[in-house]
Amino acid sequence: MIALQPREIVTPRPSMSLSIPDGMSRVEFFNSAANLKNLAEENGLFRTPEDLLMYRKLIGHSTEFDTSIILDTSRRILDPLGRPVRRDQMNRQQKKVWAKMTTILIEYMLEKYPDPEKHLILCGEASLDSTWPLNKPGVPSIRMIHNHFMVFPVADIKAAKLADSNNPNLTDSGHNTLFLRHLSDVYHEFLDVLDLQLLSFLPSEDCTLSLTGYPQGLPSWELIGGAEKLNDQYFWYEFEQVLRGFLDFYQTFFTLVATGEERIPPNANFPTQIADVLLGSNRFLRVARDLREQVIQDPQFANDIRWRPAYKQILYRDDKGRLIVTISQNSVGNAITELLGLVINRVEDNEGYSKKEPALVERLLEARERLIAANLGEAISAPCWPNGEFVACR
């Protein structure tokens, strides 16, 4: 019998050749415009007029398929703390192109890997909290919103060793996260207000992966109609409604923690539901007040609070072949894959990576061709694919 527990996958990565100035931390440098320029030039695949950049994840999660789209505002907004970090901070045109690129890449993954018993497909969108200290360990290396597309062979997940269930990076799985340990019931009740037609609410245990038992306790929805509905603009409206509901919950809770005042945040999306379900819940109020007292008493704990909304919203294919949407808070240190119980140990291994790199890049270039065909932007020529074909560049 296969153990139902999170898995630790070892993924080879190449050595990094970046030169970081003396006296500057890696996190500080990674958030600089200089590093982001290097990222585009060395690993960029495709850029749109809206500055949406598709690039190869050099230190990635998977060597099967692994790419990201980032809203690269580094050339326009030099202050790293002033860059958009959430989808609701993007303008209408950026959202439109973002959704189109996401649809194209998901469709590519589904066509390339049609069997859910053989491959796990995951699309994860994360906000990289602009209020987090620049030099804080564990801060995401690029402080802008991004969408991450990954594929994992199920055989690799089965063969991976069991991960420690108490791994602090598994905080969104129900072990020790604030929302799921203390506020799960009220969280589900609050999000139940969403008037969704294409997304159908599922019990948490109904869409967990059979190998890991994750995601644990998170509100989840099935996309009725499957992949065909990715081209329906109403799906993307509903996808955003899920985010808006989460933001209301997060902002209401941390406003209460920060001020001690029971109030509806300005520009709330669902003010009536906030008043009735959240501020009307004795448990919600008690947990916030207990956390407020801990913040007052413990400076180290207080320094770890993310006061502004930070989220991970994912779309994945479950064991039954259904497309599932879920959303969670974005805890510092944890990765998108850990929502599904996959801890990725990225080990420097130039030889191991070089064996996987040609096929990986070939698939990335195949996917890029679809973006080019959709006339969304322009291809980028990088050292490893100068003319649209892979060449050994290290």
Query: What dihedral do alpha carbons 356, 52, 242, 154 form, nearest 10°?
Result: -10
Which of 139-153, 241-255, 264-278, 363-377 has the least mean pLDDT?
A: 139-153
How far is 374 from 113, CA to CA, in rounded Å?
21
Q: Across the chain, what does the average pLDDT equal? A: 86
pLDDT of residue 191: 87
How far is 94 from 89, CA to CA, in rounded Å?
10
pLDDT of residue 193: 79
The predicted-structure confidence for 196-244, as pLDDT tens digits, reads as follows 999 998 887 888 999 998 888 788 999 999 999 999 999 999 999 999 9
Residue 88 corresponds to which tokens in the numbers above? Answer: 């609701």
More confident position, 193 or 190: 190
Q: What is the mean pLDDT of residues 49-76?
A: 91
Q: What is the mean pLDDT of residues 166-173?
A: 61
pLDDT of residue 176: 44
Other CB atoms closer than 10 Å to residue 116's CB: what's the count?
Answer: 16
Residue 356 corresponds to which tokens in the numbers above? Answer: 């996987």
Binned at pLDDT 50, 70 and 90, residue 180 comes out as low
More confident position, 170 or 322: 322
pLDDT of residue 129: 59
Say if CB 32 and CB 365 are below 8 A apart: no
Bridge-based pairing of strands 342-348 and 7-13 is parallel
DSSP structure class, residue 274: I
The answer, yes or no, to whether residue 332 has pLDDT greater than 90, is no
pLDDT of residue 175: 35
The predicted-structure confidence for 64-97, as pLDDT tens digits, reads as follows 999 999 998 888 888 777 788 888 888 999 999 9
SS3 content of the chain, % helix, strand, coil (to 5): 40, 20, 40
More confident position, 302 or 162: 162
Say if CB 65 and CB 112 are below 8 A apart: yes
How far is 222 from 220, CA to CA, in rounded Å?
7
Please give the share of the chain, as a percent, with pLDDT higher than 70.
90
Classify each residue of 177-200 as buried b or exposed e, where b means 16 or more C-beta atoms within 10 Å of its C-beta.
Answer: bbbbebbbebbbbbbebbebebbe
The answer, yes or no, to whether residue 324 has pLDDT greater than 80, is yes
Say if CB 340 and CB 151 are below 8 A apart: no
pLDDT of residue 289: 93
Q: What is the mean pLDDT of residues 363-389?
A: 94
3-state secondary structure of 55: strand
Binned at pLDDT 50, 70 and 90, residue 132 comes out as low
How far is 315 from 123, CA to CA, in rounded Å?
5
Q: List all residues 6 or more positions away from 375 whose beta carbon is below 8 Å from its beta carbon.
A: none
pLDDT of residue 231: 94
Binned at pLDDT 50, 70 and 90, residue 135 comes out as low
Say if CB 78 and CB 33 are below 8 A apart: yes
Q: What is the mean pLDDT of residues 109-133?
A: 86
Which of 42-51, 82-91, 241-250 has the least mean pLDDT?
A: 82-91
More confident position, 281 or 173: 281
The answer, yes or no, to whether residue 172 has pLDDT greater than 50, is no
Say if CB 260 and CB 292 are below 8 A apart: yes
As a residue count, the chain comes to 394
Other CB atoms closer than 10 Å to residue 119's CB: what's the count?
Answer: 22
The answer, yes or no, to whether residue 134 has pLDDT greater than 60, is no
The end-to-end CA distance of the chain, in Å, is 43
Residue 27 corresponds to which tokens in the numbers above? Answer: 């996190």
Top mean pLDDT of 106-110, 225-229, 327-331 is at 106-110
More confident position, 38 or 388: 388
The answer, yes or no, to whether residue 139 has pLDDT greater than 70, is no
Q: What is the mean pLDDT of residues 301-314?
A: 80
Of the candidates 200, 196, 193, the one whose C-alpha atom is nearest the C-alpha of residue 224 is 200
What is 291-338 written as a DSSP string?
A: HHHHHHH-HHHHHT---S--EEEEEEE-TTS-EEEEEEE--TT--GGG
pLDDT of residue 1: 44
Say if CB 344 and CB 335 are below 8 A apart: yes
3-state secondary structure of 170: helix
What is 227-244 written as a DSSP string?
A: GGGGG-HHHHHHHHHHHH
The answer, yes or no, to whether residue 174 has pLDDT greater than 70, is no
Residue type, 146: H
How far is 301 from 314, CA to CA, in rounded Å?
28
